[in-house]
Amino acid sequence: MIEVEVHSSLRAFLREQENRSWPHHLTMARLVARALRLGRSALIQTGVSSHGTGKYRLSYLAPALLWTKSVILVAPESVQQRLLEVEIPQMRQWMGREKAILTGDAWPDADFQGLLLISPEVWLADRLKGLNRIPFGIPTIFDGADDLEEWARDQLTASLRPSDWEELMLAFPRKVKAIRDARVQLTKAVFQHPANPYECYLISPAEQDILRRLYAVLENAIGVEGRQNLVETRTIPSGEQGSGRGGEFPASPNLPPAWRNFWHRLQAEDQLMWAEIARSQGQFSLYCGPVEVATALEKIWHHEPVVLIGAALDLETEAIAYRQRVGLGNLTCLKFSPDRQNELIQLYLPDRLPMPNTPQFQGVLIQEVQMLVETMDRSLGENPDIQRLAVILVEDTPLKAQVASVMAAEFGSRVQVEKTSLSNNGILVTGWEFWRHYQEALPAPQLLVMATLPIPSLENPLVAGRVAHYKEQRKDWFRLYLLPVALSELQRAIAPVRECRGVVALLDGRVNNRSYGSQVLEALSPLARINYLDSNWFTSDR
């Protein structure tokens, strides 16, 4: 059986490389091999590290290369580049196999029996939009399942940019006035929304009606023959079903693609429509996408066996909440236990912290941050060669600016706000999104301070819209949506700190006072919890 061959070959390779992480590597390799042989889907959580799921790529490459039939590997382009330059040449040389390896956005030909590397965006677009560039039934390994929900939402979201209005006027020269009037009305309505830090706003039914009336005008403009084309129907691919017109939509060649796609989305059920504003330019873009992606995704999983691999998908091995969000049914689930010896962090969690929504919080936060940085400096000394990066995560924009200002007054040019060029003793003040995107490009911090838990804010109109959807269905919107998002964000944020066994400070009093605090601590494990400042936390050899 392929499981035996994979186990034997990978074990010998790891022994040759003096890699001692055999149990997890071999367990994962056997499960992937079993999925290939039996056509049975699986979900694997590897645990968070500074390399994401990267340290286990050999475990799915071994069965993928030894399997005699074709395999699809879905992975971001950065991961593909690493695989092609490092892991695949290593494994092919060791195994002596010459299996064909290709990258692309479509299946090469009917006789291809190799390994095709493809990006998540391309694979999801093919499956959700019915492009039929990739045949069904080919075993698929998906590396990066942590971002699956976001990638799927992007594929299912239609947009109208400012330039699309100009394209529409070129397509309908006799209706330029009606198009301009609609744009003026929408501009006036959108810019009347009160300002918020996110510069995005849900579009009200009245504002949606402006677009619907414009579509009606364009439909009438096509004429009798064109109108017949406009109401011509075709089958909507899986993921676009459920429109308010029984699966029908305009197919007019006059209607530019962006406008046609937006109309499809606008007609579908359970959609959010919002505007993003560029106030300095006096322009806006419109977006329309599904409230949840499970309905669309659940229709694609039965086409072939899929092995989904992620770092921190769910606290539970069975990943019930995650599977619900991405439409997964019953499948084999595996979750690796963390390595307490090598992945332990020191978690500073003071007692009696004020709640983030109280007036006392800002003063206590700034005081704690100053003391933490000073403690790190005293411990590591003045040696400029010692890496002692401190990262301060503050999501609230005004508070982030205030923290940066006070820290700069005390620590000078060491303090940078959302910059990647940092000195050895730099202090980075940033929001969660910036840290998520750039943490792999920055040195591992000795100190990571989190002002609050990364629970999505209800002040964000998109978050509020999704919460409203959960409420309409009488579901626990906090434990099914907000909390899982926060826990996943937490685990990924602290991954670099585990690499140097640094200190994580969490200054959110809700961890001590809310029932979900135990889940937060579980997500951060393995950890040594402390509630006092001690210079012995930091050592230059970590």
How many Å apart are CA 55 and CA 59, to the nearest integer? 9
Mean pLDDT of 400-421: 95
How do the residues of the chain divide into helix, strand and coil, expressed in percent and rounded to 5?
50, 15, 35
The answer to whether 213 and 182 have CB atoms below 8 angstroms apart is yes
* 516: Cβ contacts below 8 Å, ≥ 6 apart: 479, 483, 510
Instruction: Return the residue matching tokens 């307490």.
Output: 340
Mean pLDDT of 322-340: 91
pLDDT at 382: 67
359 three-class SS: coil
pLDDT over 90 (residue 280): no
Write 111-115 long-range contacts (CB < 8 A, 24+). Answer: 112/70, 113/68, 113/69, 113/70, 114/70, 115/64, 115/65, 115/70, 115/71, 115/72, 115/73
pLDDT at 386: 74
Mean pLDDT of 492-508: 90
Among 158-172, 241-255, 365-379, 523-537, whose mean pLDDT is lowest?
A: 241-255
Mean pLDDT of 192-207: 91
118 beta partners: 74
Q: How far is CA 294 from CA 163, 178, 370, in A?
A: 32, 38, 44
pLDDT at 361: 96
Choice between 533 and 285, residue whose per-residue pLDDT is larger: 285
* 156: Cβ contacts below 8 Å, ≥ 6 apart: 128, 239, 240, 265, 289, 290, 293, 296
pLDDT digits over 28-75, tens only? 999 999 999 999 999 999 987 655 556 789 999 999 999 999 999 999
pLDDT at 53: 54
- Going by the DSSP 8-state scheme, the letter that residue 42 receives in this structure is E
Q: Which among 155, 99, 103, 161 is positioned nearest to 129, based on CA atoms?
A: 155
pLDDT digits over 216-275, tens only? 998 887 653 354 444 443 344 444 443 334 334 344 567 899 999 999 898 888 999 999
The answer to whether 190 and 202 have CB atoms below 8 angstroms apart is no
Q: Kind and range of the H or E element at 392? A: strand 390-393
Choice between 341 and 119, residue whose per-residue pLDDT is larger: 119
pLDDT at 342: 75
The answer to whether 159 and 270 have CB atoms below 8 angstroms apart is no
The answer to whether 117 and 99 have CB atoms below 8 angstroms apart is no
Q: Which of the given ranges, 24-28, 238-242, 294-298, 532-536, has the highest pLDDT on average?
A: 294-298
pLDDT digits over 71-112, tens only? 999 999 999 999 999 999 988 888 877 899 999 999 998 889
pLDDT digits over 1-32, tens only? 899 999 999 888 888 877 665 568 899 999 99
Amino acid 512 reads N
pLDDT at 214: 94
- Going by the DSSP 8-state scheme, the letter that residue 145 receives in this structure is G
How many Å apart are CA 410 and CA 101, to the nearest integer? 55
Q: How far is CA 239 from CA 186, 299, 323, 327, in A?
A: 29, 7, 17, 11
Instruction: Return the residue matching tokens 């996943």.
Output: 488
Mean pLDDT of 295-303: 95
pLDDT at 49: 65
* 150: Cβ contacts below 8 Å, ≥ 6 apart: none
pLDDT at 388: 84
